[in-house]
Amino acid sequence: MKNLFNKVAAKVRAGWDKFRGRKNEAPAPEPDLRGLLPHRVLTQEQQKELVLENLRRKTSDIEKYLYLSLLQASDERLFYYTAFRHTEEIMPLIYTPTVGQACLEFSHLPLAPKGLYITPEDKGKIRELLDNWPEDDVRVIVITDGGRILGLGDLGANGMGIPLGKLALYTICGGIDPRHGMPVMFDVGTNNAKLRSDPLYIGYPHPRLTGTEYLELMDEFVTAVKAKFPKAIIQFEDFQTANAFKLLELYRNQATCFNDDIQGTAAVALAGVYASLKSSGQDFKDQRIMFLGAGSAATGIAGLMVRALQECGLSEEEARQRLWLVDSKGLVTAGRGTLEENKQPYAHDHAAMNLLDAIRDIKPTVLIGATGTPGTFTREVIEAMAAINQRPLIFALSNPTSQAECTAQQAYEWSQGQALFASGSPFEPVEYDGKTFRPGQGNNAYIFPGLGLGVMACGATRITEEMFLAAAHALAELVTAEDLRDGTLYPPLKNIRCVSEHIAKAVIETACAQGVSSIPLPPDIIGFISRQMYDPACPPKLPPKPPGIAPK
């Protein structure tokens, strides 16, 4: 029975390959499917409805994750056709928050192996591993070492769920052909003793590689990628803070690469602040921004905001004075003593104090949480922000939902409906005082798919900080007055592909202005981008763009 199924599947794949126009070394004969399919063959739209019917029967999100993973493996076009048209329903199931649970259980889930795994035992052979990859035109590589998966910590090789999910979002949100993506697990061990002792753990069961050996292995990987896939973007994802900054600094001028936790998170947070100014009427240079958490996400956001404040005419030192960090020890101050390198630029001369006292004393207009610790935005914290600001900006960015600094319900209720709220993972709409609030999802999916699309489309040789600034401006432009009245800082996810087009346009314009584009600026940039976007419909036919998505 299995052999018969495989033969039928092979014939169906051959038929689809011919339909898509894939080139074979020799022309394949016309597949004869007579008798191998039932009398009635459903249209793609009908198949999508069948997928949704079965998906909605599942009683847990992890079951839905497994169902969608199986669909992606068995019928990729139908998977993406469904996800394109039901993004708001599908996205939380294939990425945050469900991917967090999937990573916790990854070694125990019945998933077919996907992606490329590199271990210390592969040193000297990484180019051979890349040669084993079945696709020759890789354009986007998402790599993690599993060291800091979301807010869940060191999950080792179980973190492969993150590159898999991110690449699915590149296609769903950014229209990048899935054949161009490669998920990579840089499996250098784990310091999670529970995982190492698990007999079913799929990863390299040793303590983490560190120091020179770690860097040499990564350098071999980057060098091999540049030789094998010279057009590829390398996206570093969920590395521990020290490695995240070190790798970005090592390779940002050597390869087309970026760190999504540092730069993508920064751009989406900056866009939210930009959007809020439409409601408050304030100037960006007058904002006082406080961070709870001082890791790669928080200091990455702070770094981009320094550049944004310099755009407004402030000096670098003046810009940094607008930014304050609070970590597990309290307000980061110059008098504390030894500080990690990434915190030092934001250590001001100020008395030591806790978060609540710092809010009351410094009076921030924006509060950004990137702690990975739930419940750290207490009622007193939200009330203090609301007492200081007419429309306080509250970003609870930690993923998954269970790790958020506060819930949407808490933010709106404790601020008496004043807050503009964003979270890293989705929350349901909130009813408060006769009004419905729609929480914004400050998810990196608003940034990296459009950024990648733009970089790919123009063949940019480097990814610059100016591109992230341009992406933040472009995203903020699409936030409407209605969005802000609903208490959200981002456009609806259902419009995400059009958002990505708009961001890609800004990225291409920036790349051409900086001289890192491989092509001249196209006369019709949106048309140029749209023609390159993957469409899983058969025959291809994208849904119409929602009215009003382009800024006037």
Residue 56: CB atoms within 10 Å = 9
First to last CA, the chain: 59
CA distance 305 to 267: 9
CA distance 197 to 212: 26
User: Per the structure block, which two tokens stand in for 429?
Assistant: 């709409």
146 exposed, middle or buried (CB, 10 Å; 0-12, 13-18, 19+)?
buried
Give catalytic status of residue 201 as yes or no.
no
Residues 6+ apart with CB under 8 A from 257: 222, 233, 234, 235, 236, 248, 251, 463
The answer to whether 504 and 552 are in contact (CB under 8 A) is: no
The answer to whether 412 and 110 are in contact (CB under 8 A) is: no
Sign of the alpha-carbon torsion through 291, 296, 301, 303: positive
CA distance 15 to 31: 6
Maximum CA pair distance of the chain? Answer: 80
Choose among 430, 445, 293: nearest CA to 374. 293
User: Per the structure block, which two tokens stand in for 394?
Assistant: 């509250």
CA distance 50 to 128: 41
User: Per the structure block, which two tokens stand in for 233?
Assistant: 């973007």
CA distance 164 to 181: 9
Give catalytic status of residue 246 as yes or no.
no
What is the H or E stretch that residue 218 is in? helix 211-228
User: Catalytic: which of 81, 166, 204, 446?
Assistant: 166
The answer to whether 238 and 232 are in contact (CB under 8 A) is: no
User: Per the structure block, which two tokens stand in for 4?
Assistant: 């018969």
Render 319-388 in DSSP notation, one character per residue. Answer: HHTTEEEEETTEE-BGGG----TTTGGG-BS-----HHHHHHHH--SEEEE--S-TT-S-HHHHHHHHHH
CA distance 376 to 228: 46
User: Catalytic: which of 65, 80, 95, 204?
Assistant: 95
- Quick check: helix, strand or coil at residue 243? helix
CA distance 542 to 325: 44
Positions marked catalytic: 95, 166
